[in-house]
């Protein structure tokens, strides 16, 4: 009887240790789930800014690059070197596939590195969009940059 009591006591100790390990593993799993959710959110968060040339320059979204001397050369808009996410609207690229443009009567040109080939809708060969930006291949469209910049023509 004493032998059985010792075995039972030993097994109770083992059960308590295993229960503690299960509890620890459950907490670690929940922590990892939180990290995975954060990483997925970070990976899927993209930003867009749409406006006139003056608005985008004022907000530090684009800069004029190149030089103009008399009638030679020219300047072009380029994304700013340090983009501030606060100047953009954040969206989830897996959820948002269309972006309404402010003025449906005007055309907008992509200044950032995204390719218009991954858009559908009213897009002309010069990459100018009117009305709504319809993204048909989000991974491909957003792969060059997390920041979409569109200037009103």
Q: Where are the domains of the chain?
A: 45-152
Q: What is the pLDDT of residues 28-78, one digit of tens each?
A: 999 999 999 999 999 999 999 999 999 999 999 999 887 666 666 667 888
Q: What is the pLDDT of residues 15-26, one digit of tens each?
A: 999 999 999 999
Phi, psi of 4 (to 5 degrees): -65, -40
Share of the chain above pLDDT 70, in %: 95
The pLDDT of 93-103, averaged and rounded, is 95
pTM beyond cutoff 0.85? no
Q: Is the pLDDT of residue 120 over 80?
A: yes
C-beta of residue 124 within 8 angstroms of C-beta of residue 141 = no
Contacts of 145 (CB under 8 A, 6+ apart): 79, 112, 113, 114
């Amino acid at each position: 009887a004493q032998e059985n009591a010792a075995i039972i006591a030993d097994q109770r100790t083992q059960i308590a240790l295993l229960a503690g390990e299960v509890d620890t593993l459950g907490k670690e799993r929940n922590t990892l789930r939180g990290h995975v959710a954060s990483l997925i959110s970070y990976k899927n968060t993209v930003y867009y800014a749409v406006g006139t040339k003056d608005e985008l320059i004022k907000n530090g979204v684009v800069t004029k690059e190149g030089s103009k001397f008399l009638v030679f050369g020219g300047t072009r808009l380029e994304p700013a070197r340090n983009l501030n996410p606060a100047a953009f609207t954040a969206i989830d690229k897996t959820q948002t596939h269309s972006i309404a443009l402010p003025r449906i009567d005007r055309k907008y040109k992509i200044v950032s590195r995204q390719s218009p080939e991954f858009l559908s809708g009213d897009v002309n060969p010069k990459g100018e969009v009117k009305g709504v930006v319809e993204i048909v291949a989000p991974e491909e469209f957003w792969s060059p940059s997390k920041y979409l910049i569109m200037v009103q023509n």
